[in-house]
Structure 1
Amino acid sequence: MHTVLTRGNATVAYSLSVLACLTFCCFVSTVFLDNKAAARVNTVKVLVKNVPDYGADREEHDLGFLTFDLETNLTSLFNWNVKQLFLYLTAEYKTKNNALNQVVLWDKIILRGENSALDFKNMNTKYYFWDDGNGLKNNKNVTLYLSWNIIPNAGLLPITRSPDMHTFKFPSEYATAAV
């Protein structure tokens, strides 16, 4: 009555419909979970230098150096729908040229099954803390936030910021010694 291709098509369409329904159930089962966790960040050492930018303008810009401590336990974020976490430490500050500056200083990927209780001491930044002007020297309101993206098996990719933050200030003088 029906050809092999018709029966194969019906079987594949039904299987894909069932898989789509299961994927949606997977998404719904974890979409309303709380993705917050406490994170303590402290700065240990903070320096600022005025260095030349060897780009087009050859002006001197501020380059910040800092070491930080990070302590957090992200074990509660892992459930059966989470493949990995992408963590990143962001610095936010204001300058006279920009109302909001955001710089990613450090990041880490934590896979399911890895240790998600972090306790780092005297960590250096992974990326340069570069300001496109002279907005770091004597800046009294630089705030560090730890944020993360949850990479699920199915569903939304939530971006969550820790409710804890750390505010620090840069020195009023440029450092002259090698860092």
Structure 2
Amino acid sequence: MHSTIVRAQNVFGFFTTVAFIIAALIAGSDLIAPRTPSASVLVKDVQVVRGRPHYYSSKKEEYAHIRFSLSADFSSLFTWNTKQIFVYVSAAWPNSTSSELVNEAVIWDTIITSPSADHLLTLGPAAMKKLLKSSQGKSIDPSRGKIELKNQKPKYQITSPTGKLAETDGVVLKVHYNVQPWVGVLTWTPQMEFGKWEKLKGGESKAFQLPALKPKKSNSANKS
């Protein structure tokens, strides 16, 4: 005769085995769902300023503000297992000390939640009501994964380890994403096609040069 404890252990072991198998099937279902994301990013305005880029900066350095326009469609990344998608835009430029290294910094980001994860967002009542309305009648509204930004201000300014950015050449903006599922592993922007998962179409701007610092006006010019 098995004791009560042994029977409970057997039931618990069977339960965890079944739960693991179901979780593996849910995670594996993402592989059969096609992913065809696309994005287009354009540089609209660039400024390089000298000062303290952050309130905690101890010294003055050069930092850049980059305005951009973004048109993206990530609707194919939403499946029944998608919790949310983290989208971000970075600026990348060659490293001055090594041709094999690249400097890269994030200038803007956002989180797009699935309808079942809307409660995780810290939104006001009006914004939450509008968001919930967008998902009525559909499991996932395709418009959720679409982004249209015009002349967007950056959330973060970029700096360089050297403290100098003016007249830097070969700078490009890149769009990235990270899919966070309810069950399974995080998946980042793929660098190659994998089954039904396609690489991000577009998602990179033309190379551009950061402008020079604007010369300060002299005292005599200010007096006149």
TM-score calculated relative to the size of structure 1: 0.86
Confirm whether residue 175 of structure 1 aligns to residue 214 of structure 2.
yes
> Match for residue 146 of structure 1?
175
CA distance in 2, matches of 1:100, 1:127: 19
> Match for residue 104 of structure 2?
102
C-alpha displacement of 1:52 = 5.3
Do the aligned partners of residues 4 and 52 (structure 1) sit closer, same or farther apart at CA in structure 2, a change above 3 Å counting? Answer: closer
> Match for residue 16 of structure 2?
16
Q: Which amino acid aligns with 1:119?
A: E
Confirm whether residue 137 of structure 1 aligns to residue 137 of structure 2.
no
C-alpha displacement of 1:153 = 1.7
Moved more, 136-145 or 93-102: 93-102
Matches within 5 A, 1:87-126: 87-98=87-98, 99-113=101-115, 115-126=144-155
C-alpha displacement of 1:142 = 0.6
Q: List alignment gaps of at least 5 residues for structure 2.
A: 116-130, 132-143, 191-199, 217-224
Q: List alignment gaps of at least 5 residues for structure 1.
A: none
**More strand, by proportion:** 1
Q: Which amino acid aligns with 2:30?
A: T
8 Å Cα contact 1:87-1:148 kept in structure 2: yes
Matches within 5 A, 1:34-49: 34-49=34-49
8 Å Cα contact 2:66-2:157 kept in structure 1: no
Confirm whether residue 68 of structure 1 aligns to residue 97 of structure 2.
no
C-alpha displacement of 1:126 = 0.7
> What CA RMSD, in Å, does the superposition of the two structures yield over aligned residues?
2.2
C-alpha displacement of 1:139 = 2.0
C-alpha displacement of 1:33 = 4.5
Moved more, 45-54 or 69-78: 45-54
C-alpha displacement of 1:13 = 0.8
Aligned length: 173
CA distance in 2, matches of 1:134, 1:8: 63
SS at match of 2:189: strand
